[in-house]
Amino acid sequence: MIGPSFEAVLHAAAGGDEAAFGILWRDLQPGLLRYLDALAPGAGEDLASETWLRIIQGLDRFRGDEHAFRGWVFMVARHRAVDRWRRRGRRRDELVPADALAELPAPDDPAVAAVDAISGRAAVALIATLPPDQAEVVLLRVVAGLEVAQVAAITGKRPGNVRVLTHRGLRRLAGRLAADTRVRGAV
């Protein structure tokens, strides 16, 4: 999050200031990539570029605070991903990434206590193994930092449904990690 200076940064970027746009990009690009990589593995970079192009083109018409801006960016990103699914004639649940568990440390691994033991993208890949609805809701809340209402608006669900999906996703994730622990312990 950029914080109190967001409005000035956005104003400058909308006026064509390259450095200001660089600040916006630096703040949002990592989360954008992680989110898009989870929705369309291997196409995150391309979709992020398409997203930024739309953002640049609409920058001078945007009105709102930083939260609204983040919501707008991720909504544009989701539209790009949905367009890609349609172009490919695929459903998003065919795009479940694999090997997400490989990077996770075992519970007896000393690195497990360190937060940065797992890379951001590996963690996102693990979340993406959840059922698609749960994965997307958790990612939008965790990676994009959006509120329940924003996630509901982006995904077309009710806020209550978003909360339920979040709970289920976290619970299922905990179960998977526990299962992985048992697998590693067995091996």
Partner 1 sequence: MGADDVFPAEMPEHGLFLADPLDDDTAERLVAGRVGPDDAPPGYARVASVLQAAAGPAAPEELAGREAALAMFRAHRPAGERGRRGPATRRRAGGRARARVVALALAGVLAAGGLWMADGGRTFPGLRFPAGGAGAGRAGPGAPGVVTRARPLAPPVTAAGANARAPAQPSARTPSTGNDGGVTASRAHAHGARQHRPGKPPKPKPAPKPKQPKPEKPEPEGKATPRHQQERSARR
Q: Which residues in this chain contact partner 1 in the complex, by CB under 8 A?
A: 11, 14-16, 18, 21-22, 25-26, 29-31, 33-34, 45, 48-49, 52-53, 56-57, 59-60, 104, 107, 112-113, 115-124, 126-127, 138-139, 141-143, 145, 163, 166-167, 170-179, 181-183, 186
Q: Smaller CB distance to partner 1: residue 94 or 116? A: 116
Radius of gyration over alpha carbons of the chain, in Å?
A: 18
Of 75 and 124, CB closest to partner 1:
124
- Least Cβ distance, residue 42 to partner 1 (angstroms): 14
Helix (H, G, I), strand (E, B) or coil at 29: helix
Asked if residues 129 and 97 have their Cβ atoms less than 8 Å apart, the reply is yes
Closer by beta carbon to partner 1, 89 or else 115: 115
Q: How far apart are alpha carbons 47 and 52 in whole angstroms?
A: 9
Residue with Cβ nearer partner 1 (90 or 160): 160
In whole angstroms, give the CA distance from residue 48 to residue 3: 23
CB 156, min distance to partner 1, A: 20
Instruction: Check: CB of residue 159 under 8 Å from CB of residue 152.
Output: yes
For residue 174, the minimal CB distance to partner 1 (Å) is 4
Q: What kind and span of H or E run contains 12?
A: helix 6-14
Written as six digits, the tokens of 89 are 């004639």
Q: In angstroms, what is the minimal distance from the CB of 89 to partner 1?
A: 28
Q: Which is nearer to partner 1, 5 or 90 (CB)?
A: 5
